[in-house]
Structure 1
Amino acid sequence: MDSCCEKKSDELATLKSAQAKVLYIVLAINAVMFIFEFSSGWLVRSTALLGDSLDMFGDASVYALTLFVLHRSNRARAKAAAVKGGVMLLFGVAVIVDATYKTITGVMPEATWMGGVALLALLANAVCFLLLRRHRSDDLNMRSTWMCSRNDLIANSSVIGAAVLVAATDSFWPDVIVGFAIACLFIYSAWQVLTEARLAWLNSLQIRT
């Protein structure tokens, strides 16, 4: 029995170590891409790029938070997942506000740079997605982290499509529409994460009692 428990403990320690290595890598990728994409989005006046860059910042914060609770209790993990859901919800609302502002002002983004930056972001997020995919079933926090990465790929592809349409139609509307679509995606995902976090929190209370 002792040998079995010791083996299980070693396996768990190895798993957590592997999770930490992956999270440090995706944290670095997202932090660098946030700086680059936010600066680019501001310069080319793209709502979708700014929204995507803020998501990069949110993801970097999420990964840092996940690393913080990696070796902590299930109750702490539930709290972290709730915070992550709140971050996703916050950025979804932020994108809606920015898209509304651009609709009123009618600012035109620079389509070529917009598409190029979005393509680079897509490649960066594809790397993160592949790194996180093998850990998506480990626990709640790794699953919610993988969900963030999955959403990033969809958002990046949408921004590229918007850039093509902006160039083809000479209109700011594709950029604005994608901004609203990204916001809806993150708000929906935030609801999923918050729901799972609530269930995990209730389960941790039952186990404790």
Structure 2
Amino acid sequence: MDDTLKRRLRRTVLIVALLNFGYFFIEVTVALAIGSVSLFADSVDFLEDTAVNLLIFFALSWTLANRARMGKVMAGIILIPALAAAWQAISKFSNPETPDPVALIVTAGGAIVVNLTCSLLLARIRHHGGSMSTAAFLAARNDVVVNVAIIAMGLLTLWVQSGWPDIVLGLVIIVVNVTAAKEVWEAAHEESLAAKVIAGEEL
């Protein structure tokens, strides 16, 4: 890979990482303010995308062993707020308060804008950065579907005036996020084993 393409890849994934990291704080703040499990869980997804794109950024210059270590750290970063979202969902079972549907819909709409922007940026490099850049593009594109689901759930909440739709969708998103953390950890573990093989160490 030539230096010009490498710089372009790194610049793109860094921009995407910063967009995701910035909107993570917006979404988690609104989620906590209105008591929305689904928004809280979706904010974890923004943190996951931040981790993946930062991993791509560093992977272009780091050794395999260092990438593996960073991958495991990223998996932990994703898992911690996902578990916090699960605790929030469980704690609301006894009193499923209705989150503000308007704030829910507006925030999810902002998430769609961010994810569409990231998808367009990543689409330009998806075939140049290996499997991870392709995965990052697909994740951003698929996140739009989740955001549309949150908007639909917000409209349903507005109609039924119940907190249960938010809790159910939140639990679904949490399961997806925990699965993603597991996949990041497994990928990092495989890279760690590969680094040991290259170094001639015993597994």
Find the residue that maps to 1:71 and give its secondary structure: coil
Asked if the contact 1:77/1:140 (under 8 Å) is kept, the reply is no
Asked whether 1:138 is paired with 2:138, we answer: no
Find the residue that maps to 2:93 and give its secondary structure: helix
Distance change in 2, residues 1:196/1:94 (3 Å): same
Alignment correspondent of 2:75: 85
Matches within 5 A, 1:1-209: 11-64=1-54, 66-133=56-123, 134-135=125-126, 138-139=129-130, 141-142=132-133, 145-146=136-137, 148-150=139-141, 152-209=143-200
Asked if the contact 1:151/1:185 (under 8 Å) is kept, the reply is no
Gaps of 5+ in 1: 1-10
Partners of 1:181 and 1:106 lie apart in 2 by: 16
What TM-score results when the alignment is normalised by the length of structure 1? 0.80
Asked if the contact 2:108/2:147 (under 8 Å) is kept, the reply is yes
Gaps of 5+ in 2: none
Partners of 1:75 and 1:142 lie apart in 2 by: 19
Asked if the contact 2:55/2:67 (under 8 Å) is kept, the reply is no
Q: CA deviation at 1:71?
A: 0.9
Q: CA deviation at 1:109?
A: 0.5
Find the residue that maps to 1:207 and give its secondary structure: helix
Partners of 1:189 and 1:54 lie apart in 2 by: 10
Distance change in 2, residues 1:145/1:71 (3 Å): same
Q: CA RMSD in A?
A: 2.5
* Structure with the larger RCO, 1 or 2 (CA within 8 Å, 6+ apart): 2
Find the residue that maps to 2:162 and give its secondary structure: coil
2:66 maps to a residue whose letter is A
1:18 maps to a residue whose letter is R
Distance change in 2, residues 1:203/1:150 (3 Å): farther
Q: Which has the larger radius of gyration?
A: 1
Alignment correspondent of 1:8: none
- The percent identity for this pair of structures is 26
Alignment correspondent of 1:3: none
More deviation, 162-171/48-57 = 48-57
Kindly provide the CA deviation profile for residues 25-73 of structure 1, in whole angstroms up to 9, marking residues without a partner as x.
1123123322322232233332211222343345435544543443111
Distance change in 2, residues 1:89/1:175 (3 Å): same
Asked if the contact 2:44/2:82 (under 8 Å) is kept, the reply is no
What TM-score results when the alignment is normalised by the length of structure 2? 0.82
1:47 maps to a residue whose letter is V
Asked if the contact 1:46/1:109 (under 8 Å) is kept, the reply is yes
Asked if the contact 1:49/1:114 (under 8 Å) is kept, the reply is yes
- Name the count of aligned residue pairs: 199
